[in-house]
């Protein structure tokens, strides 16, 4: 949200903030950035060619917003039209490339910085969006209950809103999303006799794929009412109501036991305070020799504590209450709540950068239809900034996405997950469904 009271700042303060931002940008020597001021002056930073970015400033208040609100103010200024660029991803990538000298984007509160003097406002915002049972429903509704028709405009036909699994350059997004579902099924070694729990339904793509192609039963839970309605209808249309049970339920209320557990990019919505609850639930409902497959977006360990103590632009405007875990925070939560042991681990970060790039182009092809749904230019700028911000973060490997598979010790049924194949008997059974 634009901080309206800063509009009353005198012009001398804007000029002072320009000098502060100029002093912050000046040491950044990797790649290059050209900043064009409203009066036509051009300020240049860096002489490298790794990334070449351009920012056009339309309103001088841009500088005070960066000084006062750091990375959050930078993003809000874009959404409000204070600056523009031919390529948002290049701008963010340039800043990430120079992040050691860039407190505006790096958000490293352990360093002395002339930027983000009143960041406590955003930190307080995060305190009020924690994932209690009621808070989780509100946080999820703010994003996923936006409008199924909106997401249908630019997601692929599988309606999948998570990283695809690209294996060759010729794959379409739809093919790569199906490949993601299938590789997770193989890593879980799914069989027709399995009862699978999915934590976080999305729009039902994984549940449909697992039941249709592996013959297993699936119980899938979500707290998004819009996704629940869509997934229920999807499973009905697919003729899988006898094998897939879609439930509107918080994962903390789960009962029963399951052979396998899958969770695709849901852990990011859990939050630091509830990571132990998440893994305690999995440990409680998983059968003795069960398998767990989690696709998750991760912060680097060295940035996790800083990230969890602050609220960034994505948390404030796109995914309230969210927090990317880190390898260490995940392992600490697992160790504190049970005996799960890492069995298989695969990084697929480049696939997410490609997924986001495709989403960005698909979204922008549908702008006219997006506006017919009632969204305005400001909404479009917000979503463009979000998609490009995330693409840059994955492209520059400032965050990563992985698939991790866990089991308990002494599970003698484990095989190489990528070489798993259904037996002829299982395939015959599935063919009769």
Give the helix ranges, DSSP H, for 99-220.
103-106, 120-127, 133-144, 148-154, 173-187, 205-214
DSSP single-letter state for residue 399? S
Please give the DSSP secondary-structure letter assigned to residue 224: -
Strands (E), 108-265: 195-199, 217-222, 244-248, 258-264
Question: Do 383 and 88 form a contact (C-beta atoms < 8 A)?
Answer: no
CA dihedral angle for residue 197, residue 200, residue 201, residue 202, rounded to 10 degrees: -150
The rounded distance, in Å, linking the Cα atoms of 232 and 241 is 8
**DSSP type of residue 53:** E
Query: Which of the following is catalytic: 185, 216, 388, 390?
Result: 390
The dihedral over CA atoms of 98, 99, 103, 107, expressed in degrees to the nearest 10, equals: 160
Query: Cβ-count burial of 430 within 10 angstroms (0-12 exposed, 13-18 middle, 19+ buried)?
Result: middle
Tokens 């209450």 locate to: 321
Give the torsion through C-alpha atoms of 375, 381, 384, 385, to 10 deg: -140
- The CA dihedral of 223, 229, 230, 234, to the nearest 10 degrees, is 120
Q: What is the spatial distance between Cα 333 and Cα 274, in angstroms, rounded to a whole number?
A: 9
Cα(400)–Cα(299) distance, rounded to whole angstroms? 7
In the block, which residue shows the tokens 């509107």?
248
Query: Coil, helix or strand for 362?
Result: helix
Say whether 185 is catalytic: no
**Which residue numbers are catalytic?**
390
């Amino acid at each position: 949200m634009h901080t309206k009271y800063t509009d009353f700042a005198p012009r001398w303060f804007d000029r002072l903030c320009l000098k502060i931002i100029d002093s912050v940008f000046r040491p950044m020597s990797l790649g290059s950035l050209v900043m064009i001021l409203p009066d036509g002056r051009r300020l240049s930073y860096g002489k490298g060619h790794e990334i070449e970015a351009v920012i056009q400033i339309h309103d001088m208040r841009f500088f005070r917003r960066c000084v006062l609100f750091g990375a959050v103010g930078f993003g809000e200024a874009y959404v409000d039209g204070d600056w523009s660029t031919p390529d948002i991803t290049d701008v963010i990538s340039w800043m990430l490339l120079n992040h050691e000298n860039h407190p505006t984007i790096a958000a490293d509160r352990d360093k002395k910085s002339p930027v983000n003097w009143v960041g406590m406002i955003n930190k307080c915002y995060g305190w009020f969006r924690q994932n209690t049972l009621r808070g989780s429903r509100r946080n999820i509704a703010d994003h996923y209950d936006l409008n199924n028709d909106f997401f249908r405009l630019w997601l692929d036909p599988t309606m999948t809103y998570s990283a695809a699994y690209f294996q060759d350059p010729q794959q379409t997004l739809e093919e790569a999303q199906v490949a993601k579902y299938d590789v997770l099924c193989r890593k879980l070694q799914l069989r027709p006799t399995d009862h699978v729990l999915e934590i976080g339904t999305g729009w039902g793509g994984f549940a449909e794929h697992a039941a249709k192609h592996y013959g297993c039963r699936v119980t899938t839970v979500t707290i998004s009412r819009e996704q629940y309605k869509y997934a229920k209808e999807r499973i009905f249309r697919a003729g899988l109501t006898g094998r897939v049970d879609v439930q509107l339920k918080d994962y903390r209320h789960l009962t029963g036991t399951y052979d396998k557990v899958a969770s695709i990019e849901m852990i990011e919505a859990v939050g630091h305070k509830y990571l132990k609850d998440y893994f305690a639930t999995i440990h409680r409902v998983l059968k003795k020799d069960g398998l767990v497959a989690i696709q998750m977006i991760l912060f680097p360990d060295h940035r996790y504590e800083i990230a969890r103590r602050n609220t960034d632009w994505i948390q404030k405007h796109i995914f309230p209450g969210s927090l990317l875990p880190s390898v260490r925070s995940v392992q600490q939560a697992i160790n504190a709540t049970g005996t799960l042991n890492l069995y298989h681990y695969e990084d697929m970060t480049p696939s997410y950068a490609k997924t986001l790039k495709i989403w960005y182009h698909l979204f922008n092809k549908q702008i006219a239809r997006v506006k017919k749904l009632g969204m305005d230019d400001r909404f479009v700028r917000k979503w463009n900034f979000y998609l490009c911000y995330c693409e840059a973060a994955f492209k520059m490997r400032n965050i990563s996405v992985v698939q991790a598979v866990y089991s308990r010790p002494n599970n003698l049924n484990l095989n190489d997950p990528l070489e798993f194949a259904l037996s002829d008997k299982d395939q015959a059974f599935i063919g009769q469904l």
